[in-house]
Structure 1
Amino acid sequence: MLSCRFFPLFLLLAFIVITTGISPSSYLSGEDKARLKKVFDHAWAQKDLSNVHYSLAGYNLLGITDVPDAPNTCKFLQSNLEAVTEVEAIFHAFSAAAGLKSCPLKLSANQKQLLSNTLQSEETSVHNIFQAFEASKLSGTPVDEAKLIKSLTSALKKDDNLLNLGLSFHVAAKLESDPKQFFERIEDAIVQADEVDGKFLQFEGGLSITGMIISGAYNLAAKMKTPPAITPDQAVKFANYFLSRKSVQTAKGAFYLLDAMKVLTVNNFHVPVSVTLASSLSIRDDTPWLRIRVTNLLGEALGPMKVVAESTKRLQDNAVVMSQTPFATVQGDQTLYELNMMKTSMTRGFYQLSVKVDPEKDGEKFVGNSGAIITVKVMSEMTLDPLELWVTDADGSVASNVLKATYPNKVGSVLEADDHQKVMAKFVVKDKRGGAPLVAHQAFVRLNRVGTSEEVIFVAEPDSSSKSYKFDLDVGAKEKTFGRQSGLYTMHLIIGDATISNPIEWELGNVNLEFRSGSGDQVKKSKFDEYKSKPEIKHMFREPEKRPSDVVANAFSLLVLVPLVLLLALWMKLGVNLSNFPLSLGAVGFHIGLGCIFGLYYVFWVQLDMFTTIKYLFGLAIVTFLCGNSVLAKVADERKKAGAAVDPVASKPGKVGH
């Protein structure tokens, strides 16, 4: 049968590109940008101030200048601004209008006063200060920066969480005054980033907060003309996080994603370099060129680059087969570079390239440009020597004539074999390029019973001594595998490998197998019907035990009633005093409840099950308990009153005579 030990090897077929370093391994492609545009389109249709704001800002970041239905959108913003009395709504309205070519908005006197009060009050939150500041800047309203800085500083002292720090960076980046005190807080924010798998950095709160902090930090650094407190490796890890969130589905998240990625492509301190595979994973003799794409995070060219494969390692034995191999620039595309992988006649297998990218100018700002890992596979064609096929006795003493076949032809005649014989085959797989024998990951023989869909598969094992494959089918030993179904079977040889470019399925011919008769139908049912639906399993509770006879049951019932009869007889002989029985609702209810409980026990004995009995007993017990408690309380109260009504006899001490 087909061995399971070969299955993991086929997983290599799904192994396309591996990056073991932290260098970005993707970028925002055209398909990604088109999908983000659909996110903005969907939010745009909702006609909500915040969604219109983020959609318009996202369109601008995507380079879309023709905004759909711009005149009506402007009217929508103007009509909503007139009745606005909240800072947040004013902020969204003016931010959205900034994304239109021509959409003038005017603030009322009350709205101007609202913005001014918000910026100058020391009780205002950082969030409101940011929105009021942005709205003032966009509307052309003057801002008292001294009071603004005082308010912002006071708000940060009260709450300097990550969101507030990010917002303060954006405000400080647009101040005319010295924002040094806010610039120094960048380090306080960065140290709070969470690292994931050694490749990603993000802040608690997700994409929006992470994008806001990173874009604000680099914008503030640009104003200060000083690198932010972010290391090159951290910049790359933040870039990897943004690339992993390309599938964001909200307009706000998409805006902050594009804003952060835009900042990471235009700043003067850290620009992550993305090295991705641009050609097929498979390298063949007819397609020997490996192409890679070198871009920024937005898929844009970075200018002239010197691209070198520092090392090319064969994964099979970790041998370095090439080192310091330069890539050539592809004419007509500044982002593509190519390398002829077959220049050194590489053998088939998987190879790992460590790529380094050196810009010709402004190289200091590029990060993640060294140690980018690209994995490819070199494939080759295989050839088969003429296959030999024969039948021999189980002990190998007598063999039939050897039949030979050359791929893709069949053998000349039908083989005959019974359960005392073996079907044998031998073949050699060779590499077409060098002619050397090779071992394929998968080599097996399939036998299909003619006229049915039944098939049996056997592994062809390689022989290390002769460098060939052998197939050995002991018909008698495998009769259960075939279900003892005699008849004509078609033989197929199937060979495949992740690094073989021409896998084959070769119909070798027919073989007539004869098995012992008599049990074929039974074995067939157990072998070939194992995947059919099984009979329904019906679960049944244990049947109740047989009740005793009526005589035994009645006699036992009488014995149980004897103590009760004896009790009643003694009461009648001694006399029953009912004078102290309180005629109250509680007393009557208690005794009735007690009697009902005894009656319930009797019904449980003859008819009810335990769960139903417990349900009824729960209700009766509550009533009986309440009534009994009332009776006992009343009896105790009466005894207390009776004791107080009786005068106590005073005992006087006698005098002792002398």
Structure 2
Amino acid sequence: MYNRVLCLLFVSSLALSQANILQSTVNVKKLQGILEEGLKSKDVGALYFAIKGLKQINAKIPEVCDVLKSLKYDISNLEQVFYVTNAAALANCLTILNPDLLGTPTRTLDKKDATLQEIYYAVYSLKAMGKGTIMDKEDSLKNLIQLLKKDDSPANYGYVFALCEHMGCGTWTASHAEGVLLAADETDARALHFDGGLPATALVLGSIARTYKSLKKASPLSEEQRYKFSTYVSGRSVSTPRGAALLLEAATALADDEPSPICIVIKGKKYVTSESDSVEFSITDLIGRPVRGLKPEEVVAQSATRLADDVVVLSKQPLTQKANEPTTFVLNLGKIKAQYGLYKISLSAGSKTANLNVAVLGEIQVSSLEVGIGDVDGTTSPKITTITHPNKLTEVLQADHLQKVSLKFSVRDKYNNPVSVQQAFVRVAPAAAAPADLEAIYVAEPSAKTYKVELLLFHLALGGSLCLYVLLWLQLSMFATLRYLAPLALLTFLAGQRLLRRLAQDKTR
């Protein structure tokens, strides 16, 4: 059997840092699974967020009216009243609601010390039950502004923005949105979020997006803000229906913005071989949808540069949109599949460009192997034996502590051309099956299109010491280990001295 191995070039699949290009998207399918699981919950809050989140992605919602009717909740708890009334409104189950639910939000609005969050819960509870009228718009807005002066946190601005959606004071939101957006916190100069985390961020971004859409006005978010908020959102990990719904609210608001943030990543394998000469790229918005307005002919590999020597091997090569997969684009690299190495692909999608790393791999073979035994000090020429795969040595090699064993081999590709690999190793182990601790692995040094390993007694002694260390943990006692280690340590010391002396002599020649 002809022995072949695949070149092992471990390549990072992450794109290089690109301004205004997303490195990842929000996994909508995973979030949908969390939300669907939340439909089984007996907690009224979890059920509300599960229904809300599924509505946001237009997913099918099963019949939940009986579940809502059977839920136990505290009718005097405003937050729970908000959850149950709004869950019922989203699921078209208002007929199952108890009229006594109106009492708690009504009493809240009559309070003089109600917080903005309480007012938000109360107003939207009444709205869900068809009782959405509140006080005069102008007076109500003045009261809300007074409460904001006491606590102008981003979350409170989000509550006021959401209340203005209901009250019809969206112009006030539009006049304050840019200032609130400037108050966002920045992390590592890459991500933006509001104090209060995902709940505050989702509330502010969602209410601003809906308000500007109703006013038919352009988004107040700058391109930099849009991408930095998207970076924060795409990097969040959630496991509850509440977290999933909030993440979808923020992500959808950003993805529906214009121009939509773009994510360009390699899809699947990050390399090409002689058998497979194409790489697939995924180009989507923040929630994995096709990018609006992007034409297939606008997706182009502007260049491919070999990182080893900065040689440009292709330029302005169009990609092909994959059939029935509008977000997948295929780049054919057949022209360079015999030029092994790591390449930087500069890929443009419309006005956006990302740099991604792709490897060109090839099948290689050890074409010949020379085994030699010579004196450590090099006074005599080594005796060389050549072996061709899959043959073996016809005789057992004999060597003592004054000699060294050397191996030299070359690596070639399927076209019989010499190949330089990033790193080559030689494994030395008993011919019969044996535990892994009885083997030794050496790094082969490159030398004139070949690779060479010298085995100087020091390495063998050192390997033996490491084996003893393993055996100490597995079966030997400390005293038994020391008994074996004493002569081995002396041998390692003497062999090490000889090795250092020879290396010093080699440098002076």
TM-score (norm 2): 0.80
Q: Does 1:462 align with 2:446?
A: yes
**1:139 positional shift:** 2.0
Matched, 1:213 2:204: yes
Q: For residues 195 and 98 of structure 1, what CA distance do their matches in structure 2 show?
A: 37
Aligned to 2:461: 480
* Amino acid across the alignment from 2:51: L
The aligned counterpart of 1:242 is 233
1:71 to 37, 45, 65: 65
Aligned partner of 1:623 in structure 2 is none
Letter in 2 for 1:173: E
1:530 aligns to what?
Answer: 469
- CA shift in 2, pair 1:173/1:308, >3 Å: farther
Measured in 2, the distance between the counterparts of 1:94 and 1:341 equals 57
Report matched runs for 1:41-60 at 5 Å. Answer: 41=39, 44-45=40-41, 47-60=42-55
Counterpart of 1:174 in 2: which secondary structure?
helix
**Is residue 410–residue 418 contact of structure 2 (8 Å, CA) maintained in 1?**
no
CA 1:72–1:105 in structure 2 vs 1: closer, same or farther (change >3 Å)?
closer
1:294 to 283, 286, 305: 283
What is the match of residue 485 of structure 2? none
Identity of matched residues, %? 25
The Cα shift of 1:208 comes to 1.1
Structure 2 counterpart of 1:349: 341
Pairwise CA distance, 1:284? 0.9
1:374 equivalenced with 2:356 (yes/no): yes
Q: Which residue is 1:172 aligned to?
A: 164
Q: What corresponds to 1:424 in structure 2? A: 406
Per-residue displacement from partner, 1:370-426 (whole Å, max 9, x unpaired)?
A: 133322211122233322223234454555753222223223332222233332332
| 1:227 and 2:218 correspond | yes
Q: C-alpha distance in 2, partners of 1:107/1:425?
A: 86
Query: What amino acid maps onto 2:307 in structure 1?
Result: L
Is 1:197–2:188 an aligned residue pair? yes
**Contact 1:40–1:59 at 8 Å: present in 2 too?**
no
Q: Is the 8 A contact 1:124 1:155 kept in 2?
A: no
Identify which of structures 1 and 2 has the higher relative contact order when contacts are C-alpha pairs closer than 8 Å and 6+ apart: 2
Report the Cα offset of residue 217 of structure 1.
Answer: 1.5
Specify whether residues 129 and 410 from structure 1 end up closer, same or farther in structure 2 by C-alpha distance, changes over 3 A only.
same
Aligned counterparts, 1:321-332, within 5 A:
321-332=313-324
Secondary structure at the aligned position of 2:212 is classed as: helix
Aligned-pair CA distance for 1:25: 2.2
Give the alignment's TM-score, normalised by structure 1. Answer: 0.63
Residue aligning to 1:13: 10
1:28 matched residue in structure 2: 26
Q: Secondary structure at the match of 1:272?
A: coil
Match of 2:441, SS state, is strand
Contact 1:40 1:58 in 2 (8 A): no
Partner of 1:37, secondary structure, is helix
Give unpaired runs (5+ residues) of structure 2: 1-6, 480-509
Q: Counterpart of 1:131?
A: 121
Which residue is equivalent to 1:97?
A: 88
| Partner Cα separation in structure 2 for residue 472 and residue 444 of structure 1 | 10
Q: In 2, distance between residues paired with 1:88 and 1:437?
A: 68
Unaligned runs of 5+ residues in structure 1 are 1-8, 359-368, 484-525, 537-658
The Cα offsets for residues 49-85 of structure 1, whole Å up to 9 and x where unpaired, read as 32222122123234332336x23224236x85xx834
Note if contact 1:424-1:472 (Cα within 8 Å) is conserved in structure 2.
yes
Aligned to 1:598: none
Query: Matched residues in 2 for 1:253 and 1:482: separation?
Result: 53
Of 365, 370, 390, which residue of structure 2 is paired with 1:388?
Answer: 370
The answer to whether the Cα contact below 8 Å between 1:61 and 1:259 also exists between their aligned partners in 2 is: yes
Structure 2 distance, partners of 1:118, 1:149, is: 17
Where 1:429 maps in the other structure, the secondary structure is strand
Question: 1:443 aligns to what?
Answer: 425
Shift of 1:355: 2.2
- Matching residue of 1:37: 35
Q: Quote the Cα distance in structure 1 between the aligned partners of 2:260 and 2:219.
A: 13
Distance in structure 2 (CA, Å) of the matches to 1:290 and 1:403: 44
Distance 1:450 1:228, change over 3 A: closer
CA–CA distance in structure 2, aligned partners of residues 438 and 342 of structure 1: 21
Deviation at 1:479, TM superposition (A): 6.4
- Bigger Cα Rg: 1
CA distance in 2, matches of 1:181, 1:31: 36
From 300, 307, 321, the counterpart of 1:308: 300
CA distance in 2, matches of 1:157, 1:300: 40
Contact 1:431 1:438 in 2 (8 A): no
